[in-house]
Amino acid sequence: MPIERAAGLRRERTSGPARTFPFVCAAAIVCALCVAGCASPGEPYERKAPVPTAIANLAAEQHGDAVVLTFNMPKESVERRPLKEAPEVEVFRAFAPPNSASGAPSASLPSPRPVPVLCATIPAADLEKYGDRGYVRYADALRPEDLARRTGWIAEYTVRTRTSDRKESADSNFVDLIVYPAAEAVNDLSAGVTQSGVVLRWSAPQKTATGPAPQISAFRIYRADRTPAPPAAANSAESEGAGSKVAAGVLVKPVTVASGAESPLLKIGESTSAEFQDAQAEFGRTYIYSVRSVVQYPNEMLESSDSNLVEVTPKDVFPPAAPQGLIVVLVPREGEAPATLDLSWAISPETDIAGYNVYRSEQEGVLGTRQNRELLLTSAFRDMNAEPGHRYFYSVTAVDRAGNESQPSVPVSSGVPAEN
DSSP output for 348-379: P--TTEEEEEEEEESSTT---EE--SS-BSSS
**What does pLDDT average to over the chain?**
82
Write the pLDDT tens digit of every residue in 20-44: 444 444 444 444 444 444 444 554 4
Query: What is each CA distance from 407 to 63, 362, 370, in whole angstroms?
Result: 50, 19, 14
Predicted confidence band at 90 (pLDDT cuts at 50, 70, 90)? very high
Query: For residues 46 and 393, what is the distance between their CA atoms, to the nearest angstrom?
Result: 100
Query: For residues 217 and 224, what is the distance between their CA atoms, to the nearest angstrom?
Result: 24
Higher pLDDT, 314 or 237: 314
DSSP output for 248-273: TTEEEEEESS-TTBSS--EEEEEESS
Write the pLDDT tens digit of every residue in 243-300: 444 333 344 444 444 444 456 899 999 999 999 999 999 998 999 999 999 999 987 8
Contact, 186 vs 308, CB < 8 A? Answer: yes
| pLDDT at residue 109 in the model | 61
DSSP output for 369-407: EE--SS-BSSSEEEE--PPBT-EEEEEEEEEETT--BPP
Reduced to 3 states (helix: H, G, I; strand: E, B; else coil), residue 78 is coil
Write the pLDDT tens digit of every residue in 331-373: 998 888 899 999 999 999 999 999 999 999 999 999 999 999 9
Write the pLDDT tens digit of every residue in 64-80: 999 999 999 999 999 99
All domains of the chain in start order, with CATH: 3-37 (no CATH), 59-178 (2.60.40.10), 190-314 (2.60.40.10), 327-415 (2.60.40.10)
Q: What mean pLDDT is predicted for residues 234-243?
A: 40
Q: What mean pLDDT is predicted for residues 99-105?
A: 48
| pLDDT at residue 68 in the model | 95
| pLDDT at residue 205 in the model | 95
> The whole model's pTM is what?
0.70
| pLDDT at residue 337 in the model | 86
